Amino acid sequence: MKLQAMAVTMPVVRKHPNRIPFEGVLTFVDVPSDRAPSGAKGHRVILTRTAAEDALPSLLGMAVDYCPGWDGHDARQKCGIITDANIVGKQIRVAGYLFGRDFPEVEAQMQKAAAGSMGMSYELADAHVEDMRAAVWSLTKVTFTGAAILLREKAAYGGTEFRLKRMTEQAGAEGAGQPLAARRA
């Protein structure tokens, strides 16, 4: 198993009212998407490992957004921030904080959502496609510009995940500057 991780160290602030820790699987590397993502002109895509490794630093500090219907992206509804990004096996795992006080409807939706029903989707700029004529586009260079929380069934990759960390996990997540894999060890 190959692990590559990056994190932004946040200061510890116990019981911060606007920091609700989350974690999720944003996407997969070297795996074709289940559906065509927005902007791919109907093509399924593969994010290459090299592109993902090179772009991993661009995830840190990027916003997490949502649409009220949980079915897409709305870059103007920035409800959180990514502070950790890891490549573990074929998964890109992220963690960070939702702005719970600013977006109580997001926290409420996450609390009532059926387990495993929420997923994630990445947002990109400067994507380079190896062969635009290919049925499945291979992304060889990207810059991450954010992520969205949405229903798994609406995500290009149906295996993505999003969840709030339980309150008992919050104490260990405060100051989330340690990669997810290290926190789980």
What integer pLDDT is reported at residue 3 of this predicted model? 59
Q: Is the pLDDT of residue 168 over 60?
A: no
What integer pLDDT is reported at residue 30 of this predicted model? 98
Q: Is the pLDDT of residue 176 over 60?
A: no
CATH of the domain at 38: 3.20.16
Which of 114 and 22 is assigned the larger pLDDT?
22
Give the range of the structural domain holding residue 30, as residue numbers without chain letter. Answer: 16-167
88 located within any domain: yes
Q: pLDDT digit string (tens) for 58-102?
A: 999 999 999 999 999 999 999 999 999 999 999 999 999 999 999
Diameter of the chain measured on Cα atoms: 52
Average pLDDT over residues 27-54: 95
25 located within any domain: yes
Q: What is the pTM of this model?
A: 0.85
Give the number of domains in the chain.
1
What integer pLDDT is reported at residue 11 of this predicted model? 81
Question: Can you say whether the dihedral through the CA atoms of 105, 106, 107, 111 is positive or negative?
Answer: positive
What integer pLDDT is reported at residue 2 of this predicted model? 57
